[in-house]
Amino acid sequence: MKCQKCDKPATFHITELTDGNPQELHLCEEHARQYLSQSSASQLESGNVAAVLAQQMAQHMAVGQTAEELARLDRQVCPVCGISFYDFRSQGRLGCPHDYRCFEQQLNALILNIHGETEHIGKVPKSGAQASKQRTQLIQLRREMKEAITEENYERAGQLRDTIQRIEQGDDPSKTPD
Amino acid sequence: MTRNPGQWLQGSGPESDIVISSRIRLARNLADFPFVGQASEADHQRIEEVLKNAVLGIEDTSRLLYIEVEDLASVDRQFLVERHLISREHAESQGIRAVAIDGGERFSIMINEEDHLRIQVMRSGLSLDETWEEINRIDDHIESNVTYAFHEKLGYLTACPTNVGTGMRVSVMLHLPALVLTRQIDKVFRSLQKISLAVRGLYGEGSQAMGDFYQISNQITLGRSEADLIQQVHDIVPVIIDYERQARDFLIKESHENLHDRVSRAYGILRTAQTISSEETMHLLSSVRMGVNLGLISDLEIPVLNELFLQTQPAHLQKLTGVELEESDRNIERARYLRRHLHGHAKGNELETN
Ligand SMILES: [Zn+2]
Ligand SMILES: [Zn+2]
């Protein structure tokens, strides 16, 4: 799909819900940036980040092709920590690092709206992004192990414990697992 | 800690008549735990253990004060908030959480605040580069012991997308009484907001601009390097200082009697009041502070005033008197404290607590 304002591909799909009737916009990054900065200029006047964020969530967070799509995205759940996108919208805080991946589509426009940028420039930890991704799996594995124990599925719990230990020791030999 | 102000309140450093302090904070999270809001009690405990170990190695442990916030009485939590060592949220929230404070109060590290880790470094006056060097060193040290949540495209991951990227907030606290008095402050703020800088009151988000103190900080954390974010704040501060000085010159030239009257009355009330609220104290101390900077009051020094701002706040006052006081008793005690420290105050006198 092409951007409504130029010939570039539309990578941002924004549904405005301001007056009750959803209005769909399909824009390239540049035009999305322009659109979002215009519509949030008045909110920024207040200088209150929390208020701006809440506003943005009510309006531009409606990212998706249609209202049904929006409802579907709201119900999407992070497999790692179990938070739904609706939970994030209502409390304003994400549940775990993986949310930035599984809610990427929804968060894209919000992040562009807040920062006017989409890519980090600056300090990078020595262990890098890959180590981080690998360790984030531990959140899910620990959760699954707890569930397996509750279900008295000890064989599965044992397998999970081994996997957890391997990851915990593998990428960080300085730490000992509990 | 009660008797000494933090390093950042010394009233020294470049431009210290207007710039109170520089501070930088970094938000960090461990890769292998849910963010604080979604984490279980057991998670909170493990996060705290892991980070406590990482933090205690930063320097000689004897110089580091490690406090479990949940164990503190509410007056002690408030005391740490008044000194900017923990946030109001950290004082008021629930669950296992901690703060590590350097002996000289040059940095504090909150564990299990909104993010697993909130590292904060502060210095007196305008001193952002030194502040950055110190916080970068602390961050490197912690990073060598844990794996931070980091995304190849988005940078450091935070519980709230407003902090993602560098996770960094650079802020400079300014005392701007003349801009307030000449009603130009809103104009300054509007122009700052246009270039994505935020203005907050003395105690951060949502707090009122008590005593004409304002914090200027970056709004954006993603897509610009730490050096750029620091530079942006660093570049704007001299501009605001210049506006404030112009406003002060204007007041001196165009309405000298009014200004002198205002400053003298403020000083008079502070020296004679029998009961006084924290708010009124801040308001009057602000006028007196400007008067000292403009040479309208000659028997007081800025570090003494900076300390009075701190010691007359509710929790500090109660720590000084050693008992918990109702608001009305606090107001009487505050007035007594001010009379004692401002009466016949001679230059160079050290503040005494009794
Ligand atoms: Zn376009
Ligand atoms: Zn998650």
Averages of pLDDT over each 10 residues, chain A, 178 residues: 84 61 72 68 43 51 57 88 89 93 88 91 92 91 90 92 86 44
What confidence score (pLDDT) does residue B195 get? Answer: 84
Per-residue confidence (pLDDT) for residue A39, from 0 to 100: 55
Q: Are B210 and B233 contacting, i.e. CB atoms less than 8 angstroms apart? A: no
Do B172 and B261 lie in a common domain? no
Ligand nearest to the CA of A35: 1
| Shared domain check, B280 and B171 | no
Residues contacting residue A87 through CB under 8 Å, at least 6 positions apart = A95
Strands B64-68 and B98-102: antiparallel
With a pLDDT cut of 90, the percent of chain B lying above it is: 73
Do B220 and A53 count as a contact with CB atoms less than 8 A apart?
no
Nearest to A111 among B152, B161, B189 (CB): B161
Could you give phi then psi for residue B148, rounded to 5 degrees?
A: -75, 150
Q: CB contact, 8 Å: A118 with chain B?
A: yes
The angle formed by the CA atoms of residues B223, B225 and B231, to the nearest 5 degrees, is 120
Which ligand has an atom closest to residue A101 CA? 2
**Domain boundary at B113, B147, B176, which?**
B176
Q: How far is A47 from chain B (nearest CA, A)?
A: 6
CB-based contact A118:A111 (threshold 8 Å): yes
Distance of CA B81 to CAs A8, A141, A174, B283, Å? 50, 38, 35, 19
Q: What is the dihedral of CA A125, A126, A131, A136, to 10 degrees?
A: -20
Structure confidence at residue B165 (pLDDT): 97
pLDDT tens per residue, range B52-61: 999 988 877 6
Helix B314-321 vs helix B74-82: angle between axes, to the nearest 10 degrees?
120
Number of domains in chain B: 2
Q: Which residues pair with B171 in a beta bridge?
A: B23, B217
Tell whether A110 is within 8 A of chain B (Cβ).
yes
Is the ipTM, as predicted for this complex, more than 0.90?
no
> Which chain A residues are closer than 8 Å to B186 by Cβ?
none
For the CA of A31, the nearest ligand: 1
Q: Whole domain around residue B336: which residue ranges? A: 255-343
Predicted confidence at residue B353, as pLDDT, reads: 42
Residue B47 lies in a domain: yes
Nearest chain B Cα distance for residue A81, angstroms? 6
- The verdict on B22 and B131 lying in the same domain is yes
Q: According to the model, what pLDDT value does residue A175 have?
A: 45
The reply to whether B32 and B140 lie within a common domain is: yes
The answer to whether residue B19 sits within a structural domain is: yes
Asked whether residue B153 falls in the same domain as residue B260, the answer is no
Taking alpha carbons only, the member of A44, B222, A76 closest to residue A89 is A76
For CA atoms B270, B271, B273, B276, give the dihedral sign.
positive
Q: Which regions of chain B are under pLDDT 70?
A: 1-14, 61, 203-209, 344-354
Domain contains B216: no
Residue B314 in any domain: the answer is yes
Residue ranges per domain, chain A? 12-74, 128-168
Subunit contact B161:A128, Cβ cutoff 8 A? no
By the CB < 8 Å criterion, does A45 face chain B?
Answer: yes
Q: How many angstroms separate the CA atoms of A11 and A35, rounded?
A: 14
Domain final residue, candidates B118, B141, B176 = B176
Residues listed for chain A? 178
Looking at the fold, whether B153 and B278 belong to one and the same domain comes out as no
Sheet holding B197-200, edge to edge: B64-68, B98-102, B107-111, B117-124, B19-28, B168-175, B213-218, B197-200
In whole angstroms, what is the distance from residue B204 CA to residue B168 CA?
Answer: 15
Most B CBs within 10 Å, among A36, A78, A80, A115, to test the B interface? A115
Does B133 reside within a domain?
Answer: yes
Distance CA B335, CA B349 (A): 19
Q: How does pLDDT run across A92-134, given as a tens digit for each residue?
A: 899 999 999 999 988 888 899 889 899 999 999 998 899 899 8
Q: Are B131 and B13 in contact (CB under 8 A)?
A: no
Q: Return the CA Rg of chain A.
A: 20
List phi, psi (to 5°) of A15: -110, 115
Strand extents, DSSP E, chain B? 19-28, 64-68, 98-102, 107-111, 117-124, 150-151, 155-156, 168-175, 197-200, 213-218
Q: Are residues B169 and B265 in the same domain?
A: no
d(CA A15, CA A58): 11
What is the Å distance from ligand 2's center to B308 Cα? 47
**Three-state SS for B143?**
helix
Query: How far from each other are the two terminal CA atoms of chain A, in whole angstroms?
Result: 51
A54 interfaces chain B, CB cutoff of 8 Å: no
Cross-strand partners of B102: B64
Query: How much is the pTM?
Result: 0.84
- Among B157, B176, B195, the domain boundary falls at B176
Start-to-end C-alpha separation, chain B? 16
Helices (H) and strands (E) in chain B, counts: 12, 10
Angle between helices B314-321 and B327-342 (to 10 degrees): 80
